């Protein structure tokens, strides 16, 4: 049996909330089934990897009746992700998850691995903030999602943001290649 290399990384799951991912929701992301499957794959890897820690970020919409308003049915982290008691949740009300100082304190100086929703909004704002903070940033290139708009498909928007983050200095890694994350982050 091969042993995994220790990977000290803070895995940040951004806005993987019920309203964004369950069938029948008005704000459901395109390809949400695939996104959930990839997120589950990343979480299984992280929970088995020595040195990896997982947290969840939850968007709290201040508008009463909104899909992500606190305590609304769509607000909670998706049950299918199997959030564990030791995996904290950090609330935010803007795109950048690092707007919550508790997240920054939890991450410390560790590299971060990002996945979640929405590629062009909260994942982008969080990746951009992490890079600005001087953190090493990796994004799971096939584990973030969005919706089609402005004449672009969700896949085009995802590809555009993967390129943007790579060009800004983030490492892109697929959910199938996470065992190589430690070496990718040290390059």
Catalytic residues: 122
Give the residue from 9, 136, 16, 24 showing the smallest Cα distance to 78. 16
- In which residue are the tokens 């959030």 written? 83
Burial 109-141 (b: 16+ CB within 10 A, else e): ebbbbbbbbbbbbbbbbbbbbbbeeebbbbbbb
Q: Do the Cβ atoms of 138 and 46 come closer than 8 Å?
A: no
> Residue 181 burial by CB count (10 A; 0-12/13-18/19+): exposed, middle or buried?
buried
CB atoms within 10 A of CB 164: 16
Greatest Cα pair distance, the chain, in angstroms, is: 52
């Amino acid at each position: 049996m091969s042993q995994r290399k220790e990977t000290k990384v803070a895995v940040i799951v951004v806005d993987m909330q019920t309203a964004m991912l369950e069938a029948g929701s008005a704000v459901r992301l395109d390809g949400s089934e695939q996104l959930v499957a990839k997120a589950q794959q990343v979480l299984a890897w992280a929970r088995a990897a020595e040195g990896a820690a997982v947290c969840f970020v939850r968007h709290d919409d201040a508008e009463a009746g909104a899909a992500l308003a606190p305590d609304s049915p769509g607000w909670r982290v998706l049950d299918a992700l199997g959030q564990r008691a030791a995996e904290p949740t950090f609330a935010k009300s803007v795109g950048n998850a690092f707007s919550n100082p508790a997240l920054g304190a939890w991450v410390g100086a560790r590299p971060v691995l990002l996945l979640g929703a929405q590629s062009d909004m909260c994942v982008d704002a969080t990746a951009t903030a992490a890079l600005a903070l001087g953190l090493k940033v990796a994004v799971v290139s096939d584990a973030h999602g969005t919706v089609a708009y402005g004449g672009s498909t969700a896949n085009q928007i995802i590809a555009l943001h993967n390129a943007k983050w790579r060009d800004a200095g983030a490492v892109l890694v697929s959910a199938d290649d996470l065992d190589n994350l430690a070496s990718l982050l040290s390059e």
